[in-house]
């Protein structure tokens, strides 16, 4: 098999509470890379809303149920397609969930006699944010990746394609986790990010501002690490000390979202200056936040840099991003013996 020719890659994603299966047709590399999405199926698990967070055992059960159904939808349309490799998320994530995707991939590999590519979930978020209209966006290295999701807040320096170095990470709560916790404090539903943003937008539209200021944790620290646990605690103390009405919730939501945005944007811009970066790649579920996208994009533009971010519909977990990452590893023949696949909940990019 020639791995510089047209390839069909099946991507499988089960790192948290979204089950994703996708099929792509891809060829080339660098600016010669082209891909076509043949199918992309995602099943989100609403059962966790009642608990305000993900229950790993319940999520695992749902993945086991959802994977065959999503797979059949895609392969039912492209049943004559020869699959060249199966790409599967092996971490980071919830290990019981990761194992469901790994087991499914092992079974397909044996059935089809095709290789398996182990994929880092966070690399998938980076790669899907680097693509536009079926190809890689044009930009120069070094680039900076800002990864913001329910489980991650990371600044990653990319000196060249596929080479990563952490320059900053969260020391406690991830930004998406903080959104969820604050949403619970305000009596909002899970996931909390969209609910906080909805109230924050209403406050801005009505020109409502809080009569208090929340902390911007570590914004002026001499490093690029993050911390959002204290911000959540500040909201908790305010909520405990006051009787909240609807407009109070809007004000708190706006001030919280502003605080998060200030920290993310400030640290990212300083990293851009220090490392001479002309492009920031933002990925992960929280990258769908319109206020963060707008603030970061406008300030980067003022600096002469640009922001690459995937469409909101691909910001949450999906098989497409795993298939894309799998393709580039398949080009390098980064395959693994199916029996050696292991889930690693704390897998690092580098």
Q: Check residue 51 and give its pLDDT.
A: 60
Contacts of 110 (CB under 8 A, 6+ apart): 338
At residue 28, φ and ψ (nearest 5 deg) are: 80, 180
> Is residue 80 pLDDT above 90, yes or no?
no
Q: Check residue 266 and give its pLDDT.
A: 98
Burial class (CB in 10 A: 0-12, 13-18, 19+), 66: buried
Number of helices and strands in the chain (H, E): 9, 12
CATH 3.30.420.40 in the chain is located at: 7-133+315-340, 141-277
Judged by average pLDDT, the poorest of 36-50, 115-129, 193-207, 242-256 is 36-50
> Is residue 2 pLDDT above 50, yes or no?
no
Mind listing the pLDDT tens digit for each residue in 6-21?
A: 999 999 999 998 999 9
Extended strands (E) in the chain: 7-13, 18-27, 34-44, 85-91, 116-120, 131-132, 135-136, 143-148, 153-160, 163-169, 279-283, 306-309
Which CATH code fits 141-277? 3.30.420.40
Question: Among 313, 307, 204, 294, which Cα is nearest to 256's?
Answer: 204
**Which tokens hold the place of 42?**
């995602």
Q: Check residue 48 and give its pLDDT.
A: 60
Quickly name the fold that domain 7-133+315-340 has: Nucleotidyltransferase; domain 5 (3.30.420)
Alpha carbon distances (Å) from 273 to 268, 280, 303, 305: 9, 12, 9, 10
> Is residue 240 pLDDT above 80, yes or no?
yes
Judged by average pLDDT, the poorest of 166-175, 182-191, 212-221, 315-324 is 182-191
- What is the band of 52 on the pLDDT scale with cuts at 50, 70, 90? low
> Is residue 53 pLDDT above 90, yes or no?
no
Mean pLDDT confidence for 17-41:
95
> Is residue 203 pLDDT above 80, yes or no?
yes
Judged by average pLDDT, the poorest of 39-53, 59-73, 127-141 is 39-53
CB 29 within 8 A of CB 331: yes
> Is residue 1 pLDDT above 60, yes or no?
no
| CA angle in degrees (0–180, nearest 5) for 300-303-309 | 20
User: Which of 1-5, 32-36, 79-83 has the highest average model confidence (pLDDT)?
Assistant: 32-36
Mind listing the pLDDT tens digit for each residue in 245-283?
A: 888 999 999 999 999 999 999 999 999 999 999 999 999
Burial class (CB in 10 A: 0-12, 13-18, 19+), 133: exposed
Mind listing the pLDDT tens digit for each residue in 162-186?
A: 999 999 999 999 999 999 999 999 9
| CA angle in degrees (0–180, nearest 5) for 342-345-347 | 80
Distance CA 168, CA 49 (A): 31
Burial class (CB in 10 A: 0-12, 13-18, 19+), 144: buried
DSSP string, 72-98: HHHHHHSTTPPP-EEEEEEESS-HHHH
């Amino acid at each position: 098999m020639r791995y510089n020719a047209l390839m069909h890659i099946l991507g499988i994603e089960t790192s948290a509470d979204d089950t994703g299966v996708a099929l792509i047709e891809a060829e080339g590399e660098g600016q010669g890379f082209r891909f076509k999405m043949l199918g992309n199926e995602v099943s989100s698990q609403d059962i966790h809303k009642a608990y305000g967070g993900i229950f790993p055992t319940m999520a695992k059960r749902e993945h086991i149920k959802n994977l065959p159904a999503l797979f059949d939808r895609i392969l039912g349309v492209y049943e004559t397609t020869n699959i060249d490799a199966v790409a599967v998320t092996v971490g980071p994530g919830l290990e019981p969930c990761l194992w469901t995707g790994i087991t499914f991939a092992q079974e397909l590999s044996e059935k089809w006699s095709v290789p398996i590519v182990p994929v880092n979930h966070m690399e998938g978020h980076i790669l899907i944010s680097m693509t536009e209209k079926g190809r890689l966006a044009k930009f120069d290295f070094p680039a900076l990746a800002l990864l913001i999701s329910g489980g991650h807040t990371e600044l990653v320096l990319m000196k060249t394609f596929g080479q990563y170095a952490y320059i900053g990470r969260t020391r406690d709560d991830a930004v998406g986790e903080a959104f969820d916790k604050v949403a619970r404090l305000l009596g909002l539903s899970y996931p909390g990010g969209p609910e906080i943003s909805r109230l924050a937008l209403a406050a801005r539209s009505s020109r409502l501002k809080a009569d208090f200021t929340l902390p911007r944790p570590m914004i002026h620290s001499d490093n690029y690490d993050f911390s959002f646990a204290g911000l959540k605690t500040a909201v908790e103390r305010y909520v405990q000390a006051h009787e909240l009405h609807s407009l109070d919730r809007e004000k708190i939501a706006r001030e919280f979202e502003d605080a998060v945005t200030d920290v993310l944007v400030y640290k990212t811009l300083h990293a851009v200056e220090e490392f001479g970066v002309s492009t920031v790649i933002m990925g992960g579920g929280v990258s769908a936040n319109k206020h963060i996208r707008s603030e970061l994009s406008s300030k980067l533009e003022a600096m002469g840099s640009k922001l690459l971010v995937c469409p909101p519909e691909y910001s949450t977990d999906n098989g497409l991003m795993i298939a894309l990452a799998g393709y580039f590893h398949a080009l390098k023949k980064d395959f693994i013996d199916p029996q050696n696949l292991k889930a690693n909940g704390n897998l690092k990019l580098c």
